[in-house]
Structure 1
Amino acid sequence: MTSNRIDVDSPGGPRRWGAVMALVWLFYLLNPLEAGWEQRDTVSGWVGIVATVAFAGVYAAAFLMLRLNRPEGAPFRISPNPAVGILALAVEVVLGAVICAAVGQSGTATAVYLAVTSMICLTSGWAWLVTVLIAATTYAATLVVDGWHQDRGILFGILAAGLAIWGISQAINRSTEVLAVREENARLALDEERNRFARDLHDILGHSLTVITVKAELAQKLIGVDLDRAKAEVADLERLSRDALADVRRAVEGYRELTLPGEVARARTALQAAEIEADLPNSTEDVPSSVRELFAWTIREGVTNVIRHSRARTCTVRLTPTSVEVADDGVGPGTSAPGNGLTGLRERAAAHDGVVVTKALDPGFSLSVAVP
């Protein structure tokens, strides 16, 4: 299958092109570099040149760390380790001061890069504090240093650069948070679907295999007594196994075609095979369509438990427009904890604001679901 995913780290990927575009702004360091070259016959001139090149290298390295090495989903920082960012900023501050001392006012161009670096190295509060301090110090220097002229443009440039990078970082971090939330929601939805499938598979196979087991035991007993009836039970076994296979296939495909009349008919057949007298409703027409599936699952779960656990002689199913009850005269619920079937039934009932009630009878046991 062809993938549509863009490799951000490929030679033509967005991250690499973004890094190239960002490093184009190093163009403004040509001013102090040119000033140093004009003084190349002096030590300060060469100090300015070397310091400017080193400054550009540190800035480029810091920005490339941010663009290329930031882990997916990590905050907008050049490194997960804050010390690395602080060290990079400190080195740039020292180099910026050396450039200004060596080549004069043209070295103040480095202040804009310091503001950008602080925004990608520090948390928002500290980043703004350092940016404002850099802006104030640089602007003050243009007022008090001999030979320098007042430059309001550098003040605006520093604050504007800081604001731009801060806005970008906030947008990236918010996008990262949104993606994380989406991934978590997708994971939860997948877990919910897995739980639903496990619940449905338990309900479908639990009922079908219970009936198949009962019929197999009955057929074995009838082989030497009533061969024709034994053959009929074996034929039922084949039909039930095919039905169970079809139910599983429907569950796998995501279809849930459970019907209330069909489940009443299944209950009648299953109870008869288990030699349990059945008292079942003759009609399901009074039950609203919105709760028919829920009531069908209730009958399936209740009858399956009657056949499997109760050792009952009779089983009664009562239907009203707002409730369904499966009761028997068996040995009662015992001391075992509720199984997956009852847990799944409670989840289904909760989706209809319904309540599942289990209670011991004398004798027997009752499972009921009521909806508003």
Structure 2
Amino acid sequence: MDVPKGQPQPVSRKWRLTGWLLAAVWLFFLNVPLGTALGQAEPWRKWLGIGTLVAFGVAYVLLFEWARAHRQAGRPIPRGRAAASLLGLLALGLVGIPGTGADWMTTLVFVATAGVFLLPAVWALVVVVLAALTPLVAGYLVPGWSGVSGVFFAVLLASFAMFGVAALAQRNGELRAAQREISRLAVAEERARTARDLHDILGHSLTVVAIKAELAGRLVEVDPSRAVAEIAEVEQLARAALADVRGTVGAYRGVRLADELAGARSALTAAGITADLPAELPELPAERDTLFGWAVREGVTNVVRHSGARHCTIRVEPDAVEVSDDGRGPTAQAEAAGHGLVGLRERAQRLDATVSVGRRPQGRGFVLRVGLPAGAR
């Protein structure tokens, strides 16, 4: 099932159950005040103590799970609601004093741990200190409550443990957020790659198809046999473009420099541009051969579309490829068609290569050059 963008990933049923158990297992420590309530001789004290402890336990578990859900989803816990919830827990503990006696202070352990899980570190520390000092102060001020000093240590130990639980929940939430971001970026990168490849493939192929179709139209009356040959090539180009699109979508398409040079010769000839191409090619690593193939495709496409040139030269060296013409050079129209150059630069960056475009140093014309740093292999 797809998850909408920005929404938390679904949590498995096993982990949801684990979260509930993690909160509920702490309720075991309410057995001391519960035993005190069950031992009350007066029914109203007994049931008041039991009722407040049950309400306290349910409220604590729900509060813990609510806070955990916020942390896992990467959402901030509202401070107002957190403070109100802590005061509610404290009030339930205080209301149960007639039934639980001095043992009500066991609930302070839960108030302290909830504060750690709900509040920022500074405020959580304040809650823990107050909860830890309350048994000591109450034991000194209230006769008969001196035997609960052990709650002081219980508050400190439980709060320390909850700091670890809170940190773990926070890190899990951050990890889930990072995983969602990685997934989003991966999808965006794949879409960009597909869009770039389709632009480069269709831009070149459709340009050649348009030129050959125009040439065939001019030859219909003066040279029908050649017009038929050009139309046949248009059909072959269209089928090849369709195969390239399918290959790109399937992520298995490759580009070879030799094939691109052959296609460049055909495209330039159909456009009436004299092609000066290398007779032999140097041995190139596979990745460099592919990059140079893309450079030839992009350069020739721009020459045919925008240059108005009569002559185009392609030079291939072990560490560079260059496409130049004697046309009018860069124009506003050529700059507007810069999507292919963007894609070419992205490909070049993977090999630490550079892409330079502009006017030729001598005379009229435009030059596209892709070069690798000196010493690259």
Of residues 195, 199, 208 in structure 2, which corresponds to 1:198?
A: 195
Which residue of structure 1 lines up, in the alignment, with residue 16 of structure 2?
Answer: 15
| Equivalent runs, 1:237-256 vs 2, <5 Å | 237-256=234-253
Q: Residue 222 of structure 2 aligns to a residue in which SS?
A: coil
Which deviates more from structure 2 when the two are superposed, residues 143-152 or residues 287-296? 143-152
Q: CA deviation at 1:195?
A: 0.8
* Pairs within 5 Å for 1:105-124: 105-124=102-121
After TM superposition, give the deviation of residue 65 of structure 1 in Å: 4.1
Q: CA deviation at 1:277?
A: 0.4
Distance 1:76 1:20, change over 3 A: farther
State whether structure 2 residue 320 is matched by structure 1 residue 319.
no
The equivalent of 2:268 in structure 1 is: 271
CA contact 2:36–2:99 (8 Å) conserved in 1? no
Match of 1:53 among 45, 51, 54: 51
Report the AA paired with residue 67 of structure 1: E
In 1, Cα distance between the equivalents of 2:225 and 2:109? Answer: 97
Written as runs of structure 1 = structure 2, the 5 A alignment for 1:171-186 is: 171-186=168-183
The 8 Å contact of residues 202 and 341 in structure 1, kept in 2 or not, is answered as yes
Change (3 A) 1:202 1:141: same
1:131·1:158 contact (CA, 8 Å) conserved in 2?
yes
Secondary structure (helix, strand or coil) at the match of 2:251 reads coil
Measure the CA separation in 1 of the matches of 2:57 and 2:190: 49
Q: Which residue does 2:36 correspond to in 1?
A: 35
CA displacement 1:295-338 (0-9 Å, x = unmatched): 11111000011111111111000111111111111122112435
Distance 1:173 1:50, change over 3 A: same
Q: SS in structure 1 opposite 2:275?
A: strand
1:260 to 257, 260, 274: 257
Shift of 1:19: 2.2
Spell out, residue by residue over 1:68-88, the C-alpha distance to the aligned partner (whole angstroms, 9 max, x if none).
6835743598xx432222112
Equivalent position amino acid for 1:281 in 2: P
SS state at 2:355 partner: strand
On the 8 A contact 2:45/2:98 being kept in 1, the answer is no
Structure 1 residue aligned with 2:367: 366
Q: In the TM superposition, what is the alpha-carbon distance from 1:36 to its structure 2 partner?
A: 3.9
Deviation at 1:126, TM superposition (A): 1.1
1:213 partnered with 2:181: no
In the alignment, is the contact (CA less than 8 A) between 2:74 and 2:177 conserved in 1? no
Structure 2 vs 1, CA of residues 323 and 8 (structure 1 numbering), >3 Å: closer, same or farther? closer
Q: Quick check: 1:310–1:332 contact (8 Å CA) kept in 2?
A: yes
Change (3 A) 1:157 1:75: farther
Which amino acid counterpart does residue 153 of structure 1 have in structure 2? G
Structure 2 residue aligned with 1:63: 61
Deviation digits for residues 172-198 of structure 1, max 9, x if unmatched? 110110111121112112211111111
CA apart distance, 1:259: 0.6
RMSD value over aligned CA atoms? 2.6
Answer whether contact 2:48 2:99 (CA < 8 A) is retained: no
CA shift in 2, pair 1:132/1:49, >3 Å: farther
- Partners of 2:74 and 2:244 lie apart in 1 by 48
Contact kept? 2:314, 2:322, Cα under 8 Å = yes
Question: Counterpart in 1 of 2:4?
Answer: none
1:131 equivalent to 2:128? Answer yes
How far 1:139 moved relative to its partner? 2.8
**What is the number of residues matched between the two proteins?**
361
Question: Could you tell me which amino acid in structure 1 is paired with residue 33 of structure 2?
Answer: P
**Unaligned residue ranges in structure 1 (runs of 5+):** none
How big is the shift at 1:347? 1.1
Q: What is the identity, as a one-letter code, of the residue corresponding to 1:130?
A: V
Q: Distance in 1 between matches of 2:94 and 2:87?
A: 11
Report the CA distance between 1:40 and its aligned residue: 4.1
With over 3 angstroms needed to count, the CA separation of the structure-2 counterparts of 1:315 and 1:257, relative to structure 1, is same
Correspondence for 1:145 among 138, 142, 155: 142
SS at 2:332 equivalent? coil
* Aligned mates of 1:189, 1:17 — CA distance in 2: 31
Does the residue aligned with 1:318 lie in a helix, a strand or coil?
strand
